[in-house]
Amino acid sequence: MIRLSLPEPPSANRYWRRAGTHLHRSSEADAYIEEVKARVRLAGVRQIAGAVELRFVWYRRKRTGDLDNRVKVLQDALKHGAFADDGKVRRLVCEMSDDEPLRARVDVVILPFVASEPGALLAA
C-alpha cells in the first residue's frame, strides 16, 4: 500500500494547451508532475506492478472546480513512480472536501487491485 499527501492538482481545464495543431501539456501541468515525482521519490515509494485501486480525497482551496477534472491529472502524475500506467487503475474511489481550505491537498492511497464480483460495489 502507498500513502501520499500531494499538492492540489490543477484542473484538467488547465492541463492541456494548443499551439496551432499541436496539443501539449501546460507548464502548470509539467510543474505538478515534477512535484509529484519528487514527493514519490522522497517517500521511497516502490512502484506497484499490475492493476491498482486508487483512492483519494481532494481538499479544495476554493469551493470551485469539479472532482472529475482532477482525476486524470492526478493519475497522469502518479504514473511517474507509483504505478506504471494510468490504464492499470481498475478501481477508483474519490471524494472532495471543503473542510480544510487552508491546507489544500490531495491525500492518496494506492493498493494492489483485488477483484470482486462484478457489480459488488453497487450492492448497498
Per-residue pLDDT tens digits for 68-92: 999 999 999 999 889 989 899 999 9
Say if residue 34's pLDDT is above 70: yes
Q: Residue 98, Cβ neighbours under 10 Å: how many? A: 11
Angle between helices 68-78 and 27-42 (to 10 degrees): 60
Domain 2-114: assigned CATH number: 3.30.1330.70
End-to-end C-alpha distance for the chain, whole angstroms: 26
| Residue 25 region by backbone torsions, left for phi larger than 0, else alpha for psi between -120 and 50, else beta | beta
Say if residue 102's pLDDT is above 70: yes
Domain coordinates in residue numbering, the chain: 2-114
The predicted structure's pLDDT at residue 80: 87
- pLDDT tens figures, 3-24: 999 999 998 888 888 889 998 8
